[in-house]
Structure 1
Amino acid sequence: MILYPAIDLKEGQCVRLLRGDMDRATVFGDDPAAQAAAFEAAGTEWLHLVDLNGAFTGKPENAMAVEAILARVSVPCQLGGGIRDMATIEAWLSKGLARVILGTVAVENPALVHEAALAFPGKVAVGIDARGGRVATKGWAEETDVMVTDLARRYEDAGVAAIIYTDINRDGAMTGPNIEATEMLARAITIPVIASGGISSLADLVALRDARVIAGAISGRALYDGAIDLAEALASLKG
């Protein structure tokens, strides 16, 4: 199972939100590229980046910070937030992103997901963010009647690289991941599933790994708070 350290970007700073609330952001640094370099030095194989402002506005808002990260590290990076048309997808991939994450458009414009996944094999993931099993869009600000598994199944034959499943009520709350829901999703589809939201300890990561069907896990606040030591976690997950 791959561990993806998260760098969430708000107005150029590295932050973490509590349950997706932009007004409840904790700033962990004003140099995201330095943070990315620190994660790389600890041995990470991937980085997970989120343009929080872009998720709300529907267009890239933290491009300078993302580009600085891409210039600083050599590990592959995936990015979500504000990516809602083919031109933006092409632009980010041309700048060196390994993978773009499509969230809102996965609900509102499925054709774009299929088109992008066909055009860029292995470089398109679908982000599914949910409260109580129902998908939320536009930076988690709007809830839909779409159920998580139903949405994921729409992309079974699209060729997407992964599904990133976030339980919004757990995100940034340090209450533990929703292992049951994540495992159920992973068993319901053939697309690799990456867990996000609530991971607060090495034990949480081990539990996700031991489910045997979850391909990856994203952690943010626990790494910044020191609840998880990245180098230790990476070594444990390899063991």
Structure 2
Amino acid sequence: MHAPATPTFSATTVHTMLSRGVWALPVYAVLLGLSTLTQQPDYATDFEAYAAYVTTNTFLVSHLVASIAGAAVGIVGVVSLAAVLIGSGARSGRILIGAVLSIAGNVANTALFGVAAFAQPAIGRAYRAGEEYAVALNADVYGPELIATAVTGLALFIAGAVLLGTATARVDGLRASGITYAASLTIFVVANFTIPILQPVMAAALTIATLAMARRLNQGGS
């Protein structure tokens, strides 16, 4: 009795599958934009508004879908982009480092999204129920440990975006897309702490850039 044949994949098939995976990047960009359409009130200056905001269904869905699931979609896109570029003969060093840093940054950032999705609503509900400890609990949650995680994750995320974007820009036909990728993700992160209204704009720029990347790489040339 013969053993069942083991399915095999040709290099062309693998390349095609990975190329299609690059389409995850514009999906990720759209999710980033959706996650920034509203802004969280500052708990240091208006805890009541903050508590009301973080107890809405919109806040929870935004973090579960746009932020946490979005990070997973972004990782799929980054891995696919890196693999396609390296498989097409692009210089691998900067691409690999950029992909690794991007993935590490996204994974670290999901810790923040998880706290936001589950801890913040609980704190908000406690505050609105008249529990005096809610403000102190919020300060404890957003203490040095979480801040250090945030700084590390965002630094890795920016470094990965810059390296992967600039490496992509060296590929024929992807110069503008690669530069926009690096710049838009960097500004997106910085704007969160400076000019939040820029975040949806940068997400839109990222969407356009990654759509161009996916379209180019799915036409068979790089």
Relative contact order, higher structure (CA 8 A, sep 6+): 2
Query: What TM-score do you get using the length of structure 1 for normalisation?
Result: 0.24
Higher percent of residues as helix: 2
Query: What TM-score do you get using the length of structure 2 for normalisation?
Result: 0.26
Look at both structures and tell me which one has the larger radius of gyration over its CA atoms. Answer: 2
Higher percent of residues as strand: 1
